[in-house]
Amino acid sequence: MITISPSRPRGIVEVPASKSQTIRALLIAAFARGVSVIRHPLISSDTLSAVSAVEAMGAAVTFSDDDSIATVDSSGMQPDATITIDAGNSGTTTYLLLPMAASLGVPVTITGDEQLRKRPVGPLKEALKELGAEISDSNGYPPITVKGPLKGGNTSIECRTSQYLSGLLLASPLAEGETVIDCPLLYEKPYVSLTLGWLDKQGIDYNITDDYMHSHVSGRQHYKPFDEYINGDYSSASFFFAMAAMAGTEITVKGLDRNDPQGDRKILTILEKMGCSITWHGNEVTVKGSGKLKGGEFDLNEIPDTLPILAVTAAAAEGITVLGNVPQARIKETDRIAAMRENLAAFGVDAEETEDSLIIHGKGKIPGGAGKGFGDHRIIMALASASCAAANDITIDDESAVSVTFPSFFRLFNSLRSQK
């Protein structure tokens, strides 16, 4: 349990690297058949789960003394007759690796912790079967076993998480023939753009039309060893952006690429609409809170991970805020719509939920109280951030899950809280 007193954090902070980019880099390196270098990787429990997965497939991963460089040597990768991968809490590792593992030609089982075993894999399972893989699972959830080869062909899949499509796009170049993917429903499109960025760097032959609804990927292609730098993570930065907004202070976040395809950078536009000012200087962005936030209606379909932090930001605003069109928030590490409504109520803030949205009745201040983290890293960091607009202490039952993506969160948060 942790108790956080009200404060008005300010100052300069540098956030860790992108989880999404680090995991994609690790998985591509594992299939590149050579030595790849990943500079400035994120070191967290989710990315270490990806490291374990890569090593379970036979690649070697080493880190520099200061963890600033990860080297992946897959030149001698010779998968055993069967492979079992514990993905921990990492849905990203699970969804991206499962299709890629079908190219290995041996049975690969992916499992994980209790939360991961509640993450649906049914649509991905059916798509992989249509593309020639043998696959079995536990009623649409991990543990799930896949065996290739991945032959290619045609499949149609509704992607309530973009990671389904990203996984198929990463695996399709390794298939025996061309893969055609129809995607009549797709949430979180910016994450697919992030995946395509890697395919472009690798020189992969593909064609995507109709706003990601149709994908054609040539088979019998290969990934190449690479040397890449991973930029700072907008998902992690979003908490510090919101702290400045709620506290009415200035916080500068370093190490971000203004043109990065990460979708969560759109939170800056939302905060601007709520009354903040945003200023860029090179790879640094400063958010200045106005001291008086206003509510609004925001579509979070492309940026579902921002729902927890925007929920507490909306609680600190005046007026009604609708965080809508985000049904996939219910199938993350926990049901984030229900969890945040419960937490806001515990903090003395009125909120209501619909099937795909959270509606917050902000009064300009958060009374405070005891919240539940639900073992969800983003909920825990959002609850801690709520202290920036709280009239009384904020208590969180367990803060340990921040290690999933942001082990240094509380250290950096406290460094800003100590600034005068």
Give per-residue pLDDT as tens, 298-334.
Answer: 999 999 999 999 999 999 999 999 999 999 999 888 9
Q: How many domains does the chain have?
A: 2
Note the pLDDT tens digit of each residue in 372-402: 999 999 999 999 999 999 999 999 999 999 9
Any domain includes 222: no
Q: What CATH number is given to the structural domain containing 129?
A: 3.65.10.10
Determine the Cα–Cα distance for residues 342 and 358; give it in Å rounded to an integer.
Answer: 11
Q: Are residues 170 and 239 in the same domain?
A: no
Point out the domain boundary residue: 184, 212, 240.
212
Q: Which helix (H) or strand (E) holds 97?
A: helix 91-101
Residue 221 lies in a domain: no
Q: Are residues 66 and 158 in the same domain?
A: yes
Strand 284-288: give its sheet, edge to edge: 11-14, 250-254, 284-288, 277-281
Q: Is residue 269 part of a domain?
A: yes
In which band, very low, low, confident or very high, does the pLDDT at 420 lie, cut at 50, 70 and 90? low
Is 137 one of the catalytic residues? no
Contact in structure between 49 and 27 (CB atoms under 8 Å) = no
At 331 the three-state DSSP class reads helix
In the chain, how many H helices and how many E strands?
A: 12, 23
Q: In terms of pTM, does the model score above 0.75?
A: yes
Instruction: Give the total residue count for the chain.
Output: 420
Alpha-helical runs (H) found in 110-233: 122-130, 162-171, 189-201
* Shared-domain flag, residues 273 and 201: no
Percent of the chain with pLDDT strictly greater than 70: 100
What is the domain range of residue 106?
Answer: 19-212
> Is 219 within the bounds of a domain?
no
Per-residue confidence (pLDDT) for residue 419, from 0 to 100 = 74
Single out the residue in 212, 240, 257 at which a domain terminates.
212
Does one domain contain both 258 and 177?
Answer: no
pLDDT (tens digit per residue) in 223-256: 999 999 999 999 999 999 999 999 999 999 999 9
Q: Residue 165 has which token pair?
A: 């499509």
The pLDDT assigned to 230 comes to: 96
In contact, 216 and 207? CB cutoff 8 Å: yes
Of 46, 233, 305, 376, which is the active-site residue?
A: 305
Domain membership of residue 301 (yes or no) is yes
Last residue of a domain, one of 180, 212, 244: 212
Residue 197 lies in a domain: yes
Task: Determine the Cα–Cα distance for residues 194 and 245; give it in Å rounded to an integer.
Answer: 27
Q: Are 59 and 12 in a shared domain?
A: no
Question: Residue 64 domain-assigned?
Answer: yes
CA distance 419 to 272: 24
How confident is the model at residue 261, as a pLDDT?
A: 87
- Within a domain: 223: no
Confidence of residue 79 (pLDDT cuts 50, 70, 90): confident
Residues 57 and 89 in one domain: yes
In the structure, what pLDDT confidence band is assigned to residue 218 with cuts at 50, 70 and 90?
A: very high
Q: What is the DSSP string of 1-46?
A: -EEE------EEEE--B-HHHHHHHHHHHHTSSSEEEEES---SHH
Residue 290 shares a structural domain with residue 194: no
Q: What's the longest Cα–Cα distance across the chain?
A: 62
Average pLDDT over residues 99-127: 94
pLDDT category at 183 given cuts 50, 70, 90 is: very high
Q: Are residues 201 and 339 in the same domain?
A: no
* 25 in the same domain as 10: no
Distance CA(256)–CA(231), nearest Å, equals: 6
Q: How much is the pLDDT for 78?
A: 74
Q: Let me know whether 186 and 284 are in one domain.
A: no
If you average pLDDT over residues 112-136, what whole number do you get? 94
Residues 178 and 249 in one domain: no
Is the same domain home to 315 and 380? yes
pLDDT given at position 292: 92
E runs forming strands in 354-393: 358-363, 369-371
